[in-house]
């Protein structure tokens, strides 16, 4: 069973997932995650395609706990550009000092609310690290609406090449891919609400239902009905 709650970090969410023998694919959402899993701390980078988690030889005893950052927020916590983590799952020790990771792991092992410990660690990193791109919210909202790259660059006040560099660093994608991913997130949210697929396509900015179907298959790796099927 999957549950999530809003985080104290604006736009972020804390989630928990019960152990499962056959994990469902994780779909692209433009986000990075800090994950506490079977005594390990992992970082999930922004995906460009559906990611099938590795099925462990034995089921972990405790739920998986994660902190999902808002699009563009993670690089300031992890200390590396988002495109260096694209489509990857890496140990947190690859990004943070080993001693810091050990302290956090020890704290999580004893915590009754691991999600709050993850939030506190992220807040600490944000206080001492580089600030997130101040235009990340504007970029994400405009990209999700399908704003042309030239118009988006003008809104941010940079050229198209610099916009691409900033998007790669903040989100892990160029502006066009970012728009595709965020539009998929919106479409799936609408479809899960019960909205008919044709209306979903129109509301999310697709040309038609066939366009929606192609994009879901390309990014999620399965037809829309399969993606929405309960686990």
**Res 211 pLDDT > 80:** yes
Positive/negative CA dihedral, 197, 200, 202, 204: negative
Compute the mean pLDDT over every residue in the chain, rounded to the nearest whole number. Answer: 93
pLDDT-derived band at 25, boundaries 50, 70, 90: confident
Within the chain, all domains assigned CATH 1.10.10.60 are found at: 136-228
Residue 210 is predicted with a pLDDT of 97
pLDDT per residue over 63-73, tens digit each? 899 999 999 99
The mean per-residue pLDDT over the stretch 164-171 comes to: 97
Residue 56 is predicted with a pLDDT of 56
First to last CA, the chain: 9
C-alpha distances (whole Å) from 181 to each of 14, 42, 58, 95, 219 are 21, 22, 33, 25, 8
Q: Tell which wins on pLDDT, 118 or 20.
A: 118
pLDDT per residue over 51-97, tens digit each? 987 655 555 567 899 999 999 999 999 999 999 999 999 999 999 99
Q: Tell which wins on pLDDT, 134 or 56.
A: 134
Lowest mean pLDDT among 48-62, 122-136, 161-175, 194-208: 48-62
Residue 58 is predicted with a pLDDT of 54
Domain 136-228: give its CATH superfamily: Homeodomain-like (1.10.10.60)
């Amino acid at each position: 069973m999957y549950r999530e709650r809003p985080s104290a970090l604006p736009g972020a969410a804390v989630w928990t997932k019960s152990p499962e023998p056959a994990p469902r694919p994780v779909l692209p959402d433009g986000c990075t995650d800090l994950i506490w899993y079977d005594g390990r701390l992992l970082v999930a980078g922004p995906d460009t395609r559906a990611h099938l988690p590795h099925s462990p030889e034995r089921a972990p005893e405790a739920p998986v706990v994660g902190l999902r950052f808002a699009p563009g927020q993670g690089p300031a916590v992890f200390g590396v550009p988002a495109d260096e983590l694209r489509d990857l799952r890496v140990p947190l020790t690859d990004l943070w000092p080993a001693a810091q990771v050990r302290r956090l792991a020890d704290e999580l092992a004893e915590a009754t609310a691991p999600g709050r410990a993850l939030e506190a660690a992220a807040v600490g990193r944000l206080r001492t690290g580089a600030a997130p791109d101040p235009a990340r919210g504007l970029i994400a909202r405009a990209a999700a609406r399908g704003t042309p790259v030239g118009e988006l660059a003008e809104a941010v006040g940079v050229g198209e090449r610099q916009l691409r560099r900033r998007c790669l660093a903040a989100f892990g994608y160029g502006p066009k891919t970012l728009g595709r991913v965020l539009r998929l997130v919106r479409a799936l949210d609408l479809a899960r609400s019960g909205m008919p697929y044709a209306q979903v396509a129109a509301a999310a900015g697709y040309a038609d239902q066939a366009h929606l179907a192609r994009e879901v298959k390309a990014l999620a790796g399965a037809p829309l009905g399969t993606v929405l099927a309960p686990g």
